[in-house]
Amino acid sequence: MGGTVEARQLAERLCADPRLHIISSLAGRTNQPASLPGEVRVGGFGGIEGLVGFLRERKIALLVDATHPFATQISENAFEAAMNAEVDRITLLRPPWRQNENCRWKEFENLEAVIGALPRGASAFLALGSQYVSAFSRCGGIEFIIRMADEPVKPPFASCTVVTGLPSNEIEKEQALLAEHGITHLVCRNSGGNTGFAKVEAACNLGIKVLMISRPTYSVREPLVETVESVVRFIGDAFPRRQPMDLP
Ligand code: NAP
């Protein structure tokens, strides 16, 4: 279950092993997802029951939930479905970002709390999933610049500017973008991982206030690991080694 950099890296690692058949599952949210090795399926399963059916039909031996830390519904579904279908499951969840002496922010429990904290007159850069941005439409007196992966059919709300593209890993590029738009506040989620932290560092370098939404508080289920390498090790430990000829 993918949609993350880590899920792609894992697919690349595991597809190199001829004894394994790897299926990556994407929700289909982005128009041009990065190419993946192995089998790829796209679109929802139709809830827990649909996923149970898929796991049984495809005789899945292990479900790796490598979805985004804020994709809570699919993780709950993956947990329930794997249990119902009696399929082994492991969660790959990258650790959240931590503050350091150069990079500080204020954490908020949810979107509502962030919206309440934005002052009138701010120029806010929203680096959030597209499903989260419409809630900001009711904020008066604030200029919003919204970064979206794909050009939207229409802007999320009238009084905003959309910047299309993915976040850069280069702090200088993120700094240039924030400066170009005269940003005073950066709103983002504590997604963790290497991709995405450059914007936070860029904002801190420029003295821009960072409003960070904390990780959701849903219960993350064990077994849980933080790195691609750990999943590879888990597979090596959990499944007896088979010869290529054993495979279908
Ligand atoms: P979500 O709210 O947890 O899930 C909503 C529904 O989307 C699920 O019930 C499921 O539909 C379908 N779905 C989600 N992930 C899927 C997957 N990997 N394969 C097949 N169906 C999936 O999910 P979300 O937050 O919209 O995220 C969707 C996908 O984008 C995830 O794969 C996630 O890893 C990736 N992503 C999300 C974010 C984010 O900010 N949330 C950021 C980067 C990447 P059914 O119930 O019909 O099965």
∠ CA(172), CA(174), CA(175), 5° rounding?
A: 60
Would you state the pLDDT for residue 248? Answer: 45
Would you state the pLDDT for residue 245? Answer: 44
Two structure tokens written together for 83: 């249990």
Torsion angle (degrees, nearest 10) of CA 11, 16, 19, 21:
30
Would you state the pLDDT for residue 29? Answer: 87
Q: Which atom of ligand 1 lies nearest, measured to the CA of 1?
A: 18
Nearest protein CA to atom 13 of ligand 1, as residue: 27
b/e for 149-168, b at 16 or more Cβ within 10 A? beeeeeebeeebebeeeebb
Q: Is the CB of 91 under 6 A from ligand 1?
A: no
38-69 residue pLDDT tens: 999 999 999 999 999 999 999 999 999 999 99
Would you state the pLDDT for residue 150? Answer: 86
∠ CA(134), CA(3), CA(221), 5° rounding?
A: 95
Q: Which of 3-17, 135-149, 189-203, 230-244 has the lowest mean pLDDT?
A: 230-244
Ligand 1 center from residue 176 Cα (angstroms) = 31
Q: Is the CB of 74 under 6 A from ligand 1?
A: yes
Q: Mean pLDDT throughout 106-126?
A: 96
Q: Is the CB of 44 under 6 A from ligand 1?
A: yes
Q: Can you point out the beta strands (E) in 132-232?
A: 143-148, 160-164, 185-189, 209-213, 224-225
Say what the pTM is: 0.91
Would you state the pLDDT for residue 163? Answer: 96
Would you state the pLDDT for residue 36? Answer: 95
| Banded model confidence at residue 31, pLDDT cuts 50, 70, 90 | confident
Residue type at 152 in one-letter notation: P
Nearest protein CA to atom 37 of ligand 1, as residue: 68
202-225 residue pLDDT tens: 999 999 999 999 999 777 789 999
Q: Is the CB of 71 under 6 A from ligand 1?
A: yes
Ligand 1 center from residue 182 Cα (angstroms) = 33
146-189 residue pLDDT tens: 999 888 989 999 889 999 998 999 999 999 999 999 999 999 99
Would you state the pLDDT for residue 137? Answer: 93
Q: Is the CB of 2 under 6 A from ligand 1?
A: yes
Would you state the pLDDT for residue 189? Answer: 96
64-96 residue pLDDT tens: 999 999 999 999 999 999 999 999 999 999 999
Distances from the Cα of 104 to the Cαs of 145, 195, 200, 203, 240, in angstroms? 22, 18, 9, 10, 46
- Residue 28 DSSP label: -
